[in-house]
Amino acid sequence: MYLPTLLSLAFATLSLASPTPAPVDTDADTDADAVAPSKLRVVGVSVLGSGCRAGTADVRVVSTKNTAIEIALSDYIVQTGPDTMAADWRKNCKLTLNLEYDAGFQLSTLKTTTQGFAHLPAGVNGQCRDTIDFTGDDREVSYGIALDGACDGAFSLSASPDIALWSACGGGTAILNVNTECWISPTEKRALIAVDSISSKLVVRVALQWRKC
């Protein structure tokens, strides 16, 4: 399999020619006067999928205003080309996040920002999609980004579908489900979507908004 060679070449190209993605201001999408709970905790995480073996996913609150959650995946690699197979062409990671926050609030996802590395020759396209829902609600919302070849380097792309899906009002808990999947097509040429060479992670930041019940 060509992955080690391609990773080495791609990461070398990145370090020479592509800047590190700019840090995301996790509070930038929230009105300074917007209401938010004084606490937000991720009290439980379960993961399932081809892109997140046990021990390779990390979840944390990254906003001082409790308006963003970061998901970092350290073993997420999508690749195509000779010596690859169908299982390499698409990866996903479904995370179930048990959240606790002050009672009397509802939360909704506002946008997602995906950061990673892509090596896509001309004529090859990559897609990443985050599908989000709350346990107990049969509705869902999807956030998608497109990566068009030719490209070679770090990327940081955001998606905001302007559809609000709110958690139920209650005692300050919610179960947030996030399914992150990436794929490449066509699959004949050598191509890659993977962890960033600087952070060694593929990162999805989920911006949140709040309102009082």
161 pLDDT tier (thresholds 50, 70, 90):
confident
Per-residue pLDDT at 41: 96
**DSSP annotation string for the chain:** --HHHHHHHHHHHHHHHSPPPPPP-TTTTS-TT----S-EEEEEEEEESTT--TT-EEEEE--TTS-EEEEEESS--EEESTT--HHHHEEEEEEEEEEEE-TTEEEEEEEEEEEEEEEE-TT-EEEEEEEEEETT----EEEEEEEESSEEEEEEEEE------BPPPSSSEEEEEEEEEEEEES-SS-EEEE--TTTSSEEEEEEEEEEE-
Mean pLDDT, residues 111-139? 95
Q: Is the model more confident about 113 or about 18?
A: 113
Whether the predicted pLDDT of 166 surpasses 50: yes
Average pLDDT over the chain, rounded to an integer = 85
Per-residue pLDDT at 196: 82
Question: Domains of the chain: which residue ranges?
Answer: 3-21+36-212
Whether the predicted pLDDT of 33 surpasses 70: no
Kindly report the pTM of this predicted structure: 0.82
